[in-house]
Amino acid sequence: MTDIHCHILPGLYDGAPDYEAALEMIRIAEKEGVGCIVATPHCIDFPDEDIFGVLSNLKELASGQGCNVELLAGSEIYINPDLPRMAKDNKIISINRSRYVLVELPMLDMPLYTLDVVYELRLIGFVPVIAHPERYKYVIGNPNIVKGLIDAGALCQVNSGSITGRYGKAVEKTVHTLLRHNMVHFAASDAHSPNHRPPRLKKAYEITEECYGKDKAHKLFCGNPYAAVKNEDIEIEEPIAVKKRKWFFLK
């Protein structure tokens, strides 16, 4: 499996508390069946160049301890109106420097400019990947917002913990609604530590396989994430609008 959303870099933007914790996260991920982790520290403004230095140090330490997980650079970028310009000027860190850009939205209200940013990113050759939409209050209230994002050109990544129920029933119901309606393209850990939010994917993979089949599970946890880090095209299914009576009860 390839984990494209993981806050593993110690001391950077809500990442692991220290190198030992980061190494423990790598060991956990490897036991879960993860072969590649994209380090995605939060970036509200321009990314800090220290990202590459810390990543290099972590790679060296992990290699010295016999870890066989590939570590790649990325970031989770908080949406803002200047994001297309930042991307065009090479002032963001996309997923392994590919065309795929992990973008976080606010939890409570979606900015009015969101669809414009998605559209403008696509115009200049980037593919925005919306991080954990199932956790956003407005998506829980109306999952069809995600369809609008996909129609504008975005892809969507859900958290493994959402699938397993870690974030509560409303988020769990929402993520399965999105899965049933072809609105999910990646599953990732969004891990922050070895204990509180560890990089565990296996249980979520098994639930996805049981509920939606082996092909879908492989696509979300393996095929699509691998394609993203390799900057390859991703084939997506047509999203299906959720009928109002199905999401009303999620409120």
Tell me what the mean pLDDT of segment 136-160 comes to. 98
- Cβ count within 10 A of residue 104: 21
Non-local (6+) Cβ contacts of 66 within 8 A are: none
Percent of the chain having pLDDT more than 90? 90
Distance of alpha carbon 192 from alpha carbon 13, whole angstroms: 10
Q: What is the pLDDT of residues 15-69, one digit of tens each?
A: 999 999 999 999 999 999 999 999 999 986 555 668 899 999 999 999 999 999 9
Helix (H) or strand (E) holding 38: strand 36-39
Q: Which residue has the higher pLDDT, 210 or 43?
A: 210
| Identity of the amino acid at 83 | L
Place of tokens 């009015």: 112
Q: What is the pLDDT of residues 71-120, one digit of tens each?
A: 999 999 999 999 999 999 999 999 999 999 999 999 999 999 999 999 99
In this prediction, residue 250 carries a pLDDT of: 52
Does the pLDDT at position 247 exceed 80?
no
- pTM for the predicted model, two decimal places: 0.94
Q: What kind of fold does domain 2-250 have according to CATH?
A: TIM Barrel (3.20.20)
